Structure 1
């Protein structure tokens, strides 16, 4: 498949996911200056919206930190969980009006931080002991249901991000409580995140796909390495790194290519340092590492240009 055909597939996919008609595409091609003005105003609107959100969050944080020791248990819950829930409701209200729609994202981000913090504060203030993991499970489960249901109804990317985040925390704690091996948990969560990132990359939420590709790949590779470290199966990690590089060409992700390449180079350095350090073969090993760096980096550039750059 040529680069042009790949680009056309991406255009068709984006148009379908964002419900863009052929007439709108043709109009955009015929009036590039108008589109440039709209894009510029859109960027400024987002910029001021995020800056405003940062100031609001900073103000809330400073207020809470100044009077935290003076607050009672109820007040601490109200200024964290209560403020976060109000920010969440305000975000929903902003989505109902086109004029204030861009303010929704900063509000949802603020609520996604304050609400779980407030839940943990509430559990700390009013609980009578118990396993901390159960509290984390409750917090993550509540946030997953809230953010997931709202994402299902509103389709906002920021809600997709928080739903994936709290879903990962929920299932990691659930598996830990059930006694699943922590390395197996990492492999399951990492693989799941890679699948979710692939689905996000095929939707209108592709802006957050690279982040979850990175988290999923790092989690998976780290868990595999810990599982096979100092065992005869250690070279399996090298195969996992090669698999990540192969996946990067299939899904056309520079993030996966970067993670796979770096992990492979790190393992080569680790292996040679472990088996050849303080021996006559160490200088030869250094030369081998240098050659491996050149070969792998050259391969990564070729894969990027041939399979990924068109994305």
Structure 2
């Protein structure tokens, strides 16, 4: 008896009442499986929410406690309750991730540790009177970047990836500050360097988000797309005040952002590209040349097309 004959026979017996649907469902365990999956999904969501809420409460509690005793303790104690505590919590998170990789508790500990360690590093530099050296601050955050990269290689966790990216970005800007003397030292002479660097970092965020789309870091895609497109378009828009060439080609960059939103299927990129063009035209239309104003009007039909393609595909 082939599959079609077997199914037909089963359907006939159900129709005649020889076999009930409940018996079939019970025999093949269809309902309990579906219910189990639903319960598992709900349990996972509630557990994860409680973990995040608990982590937030713990971090806030630590901050309040440290603030209350801050002026009553010495330098060593200040470093211990910030940087030292951050490393201890991170070590606990690593142990939990190694022993129970399927549990979220290790990730929560790494989140708390990652929130404390950068601030603790700044406290340590301040207590050791090293905060005035730009290179020392830059190298410190560079060491934190390497630390989180190594942790991420071992554990492959999205939270560790986030802190690696955050500390790496901070390191890049701090190194530039050490080289140039800071953004407020001769701003009009070096501002283009910061703007082009922000464009490059924004583009790298977009590339990272696209590279993470099928991996274990996919939870970071939305954040990377948002900060990437915002940084890139914001830095690009800051160029239009000093350059007629940028005024003319800014709308082409916006069209590129719209095309990118369709290719990456990202509503975030689409929204930020649209807002960028509208704010550019509405709030700064007086400084643009006639060509740019006409080009902005010409973009609006494309906006409708791109919005439709992203939201309805």
Band of TM-score, shorter chain = 0.7 to 0.9
Note if contact 1:248-1:256 (Cα within 8 Å) is conserved in structure 2: yes
Aligned match of 1:257 in 241, 260, 270? 270
CA gap 1:275/1:99 in 2 versus in 1, 3 angstroms: closer
Give how far 1:294 is off.
6.6
* Structure 2, unaligned runs of 5 or more: 1-28, 181-189
- Cα distance in 1 for residues equivalent to 2:262 and 2:307: 12
CA gap 1:147/1:251 in 2 versus in 1, 3 angstroms: same
Q: For CA contacts below 8 A with separation 6 or more, give which structure has more relative contact order.
A: 1
CA gap 1:128/1:204 in 2 versus in 1, 3 angstroms: closer
- Cα distance in 1 for residues equivalent to 2:172 and 2:163: 14
Q: What's the secondary structure of 1:101's corresponding residue? A: coil
Deviates more, 1:48-57 or 1:91-100: 91-100
* Structure-1 residue corresponding to 2:203: 191
- Cα distance in 2 for residues equivalent to 1:101 and 1:267: 46
* Structure-1 residue corresponding to 2:117: 115
* Structure-2 residue corresponding to 1:72: 74
* Structure 1, unaligned runs of 5 or more: 1-26
Give how far 1:176 is off.
3.7
Give how far 1:186 is off.
1.1
How high is the TM-score relative to the length of structure 2? 0.78
* Structure-1 residue corresponding to 2:279: 266
Give CA deviations for 1:218-275 in whole Å, capped at 9, x if unaligned: 1111111222324211122222111111111111111111111111111121343446
- Cα distance in 2 for residues equivalent to 1:127 and 1:112: 23
Note if contact 1:187-1:223 (Cα within 8 Å) is conserved in structure 2: yes
Note if contact 1:141-1:167 (Cα within 8 Å) is conserved in structure 2: yes
1:224 and 2:236 are equivalent in the alignment: yes
Deviates more, 1:247-256 or 1:96-105: 96-105
Give how far 1:94 is off.
1.1
- Cα distance in 1 for residues equivalent to 2:30 and 2:250: 48
* Structure-2 residue corresponding to 1:5: none
- Cα distance in 1 for residues equivalent to 2:255 and 2:284: 16
**What RMSD over aligned residues (CA atoms) do the two structures have, in Å?**
2.8
1:238 and 2:228 are equivalent in the alignment: no
Aligned match of 1:206 in 214, 218, 232? 218
Give CA deviations for 1:138-184 in whole Å, capped at 9, x if unaligned: 23212211111111111111111111111111122223433471112
Give how far 1:83 is off.
0.8
Q: What's the secondary structure of 1:31's corresponding residue? A: helix
Give how far 1:47 is off.
1.5
Give CA deviations for 1:288-310 in whole Å, capped at 9, x if unaligned: 99x7797465334212135xx4x
Deviates more, 1:94-103 or 1:247-256: 94-103
- Cα distance in 2 for residues equivalent to 1:160 and 1:42: 22
- Cα distance in 1 for residues equivalent to 2:51 and 2:288: 54
- Cα distance in 2 for residues equivalent to 1:187 and 1:209: 18
Note if contact 1:228-1:236 (Cα within 8 Å) is conserved in structure 2: no
CA gap 1:118/1:239 in 2 versus in 1, 3 angstroms: same
Note if contact 1:94-1:100 (Cα within 8 Å) is conserved in structure 2: no
* Structure-2 residue corresponding to 1:304: 310
How high is the TM-score relative to the length of structure 1? 0.78
Deviates more, 1:71-80 or 1:266-275: 266-275
CA gap 1:231/1:155 in 2 versus in 1, 3 angstroms: same
Note if contact 1:120-1:135 (Cα within 8 Å) is conserved in structure 2: no
